[in-house]
Amino acid sequence: MPFTPHGKHLIAGDWVASDRSFSSEPAHGPAHDFSVGTVDLVNAACEAAEEAFWTYAYTSREERAAFLDAIADEIEARAEAITEIGSQETGLPEARLQGERGRTTGQLRLFADHIRKGDYLDRRHDAALPDRQPLPRPDLRMIQRPIGPVAVFGASNFPLAFSTAGGDTAAALAAGCPVVVKGHSAHPGTGEIVAEAIKAAVEKTGMPKGVFSLIQGGRRDVGTALVQHPLIKAVGFTGSLGGGRALFDLCAARPEPIPFFGELGSVNPMFVLPEAAKARGEEIGKGWAGSLTMGAGQFCTNPGIAVVATGPAGDAFVAAAKAGLEAVGPQVMLTDGIAKAYRDGQDRFETRNSVTPLLSTESAGREANPNLYETDAASYLQDHALGEEVFGPLGLVIRVSGTDEMEMLAKGFEGQLTATIHMDAGDATEARKLLPILERKAGRVLANGFPTGVEVADTMVHGGPYPASTNFGATSVGTLSIRRFLRPVCFQNIPEGVLPDDLQ
């Protein structure tokens, strides 16, 4: 049967309505009404999360792992209904949503396996030295402990993998922290059905009801109340630079400042080195066009900038990229607001004399057509706006005079989620010069590929220097992301039977 949302908030195991409602704006299919979030609901959810913390934070690793596995099972049990409403709300194709659902459940199960092993606890022990001179040493044991309730903001572009039960939620729950999710209004029905799956897992595994809550909709006051609530101890966010920076500032301005783990987007530059351009410039250009338009360009790792030298090899790269983009028709974007922001971003390029349009199209309504522009290194470095992310299928080629100018340009980039080097064997010397620059600029550096598609694995880093993210030492993907919601605690001379179970 098709899933019909009831439009309520999930607060500590109960579905709760509020006085006002908003309607979803699906790309196709029926619209549904949803209750609007309120400050009172935020307070109720946070208080329930704090109460749940005293039980949930002290569950065993096996109990939490079983809970994460149960969430994955319950999501898979609703697979067809999730795909249907997710596609209606976002306009994403069914195959994309099926893949994203698999990524989401795979991530939950990966985290479950990871915490079962216990390595993430970073347990250390310095045994007592009572006879040490001139002073004895006490018995010292250190372990990572959960920090408290965590607020998570759902992302617009990933209704599953970065939203209700996405990476931030999974990492916080794995760490032992209850979660309050502020659902994204772009896909409230998808958020609701995933919340139903989490609720079922809570009941199935006997977890405290306040371990998870979902608040839908609401104006800015709801988000503000959530990040400033005194019981919230950290915030996970994936979204725009402007919105993320505003929340970051609110977290820092609290009487008790808390960490804000914001992933704020990136232009993800690619550097096409000379020998690679000569040998396979057309192939790389065609591949870039495919990556640039994947999912209508609505990926935080979308490679929006390509750096290539002037000359015939660079020309062949650009021609192939343009031809690849011309073959792509209009694509439905996630929301009307995102589509408008894409058109505004295109206007920013169209009005600059230093930028040459290579493919200039018109987009209307909720659809986006690809666009391609070109500039030189000097113009790019003088105009900060050219380095601002355009969320959608828009690419900028920066032509350089040679590898020296390429290195200079690399040093001028802001923080990025990713940076890519396209190279052949003859480019190794230049790649060795470029790599130290790029590792300071990005959380992930890759060769001869495209950054769209973030592997969920122990080694993955999805983060980077500001403005790519607000905490350069963290990742929002992979098992290392769990560490964001833990803090080290040292126990001195605590008797064995009193210590946390994981230290005994």
Annotated catalytic sites, by residue?
263, 300
C-beta atoms surrounding 118 within 10 Å: 12
DSSP state of 78: T
Q: Which residues contact 45 (CB under 8 A, 6 or more apart)?
A: 11, 12, 180, 210, 213, 215
Pairing of strands 270-272, 305-309: parallel
Return d(Cα 289, Cα 277) in angstroms, integer. 15
∠ CA 73-78-84, rounded to 5°: 145
Tell how far CA 345 is from the center of its chain. Answer: 21
Q: What is residue 500's three-state secondary structure?
A: coil
Residue at 102: amino acid letter: G
Tell how far CA 50 is from the center of its chain. Answer: 25
Q: 205: which 2 tokens?
A: 């595994």
Q: Of 332, 301, 256, 454, whose CA–CA distance to 25 is shortest?
A: 332
CB 189 within 8 A of CB 219: no
CB 112 within 8 A of CB 174: yes
Q: Taking the CA atoms of the chain, what radius of gyration do you get in angstroms?
A: 24
DSSP state of 440: H
Residue at 53: amino acid letter: F
Q: What is residue 150's three-state secondary structure?
A: strand
∠ CA 353-306-160, rounded to 5°: 110
Return d(Cα 420, Cα 448) in angstroms, integer. 7
Return d(Cα 353, Cα 403) in angstroms, integer. 25
Q: Of 157, 71, 77, 68, whose CA–CA distance to 110 is shortest?
A: 68
∠ CA 410-287-362, rounded to 5°: 90
Q: In this structure, what are the phi and psi dihedrals at residue 422, rounded to the nearest 5 degrees? A: -100, 120
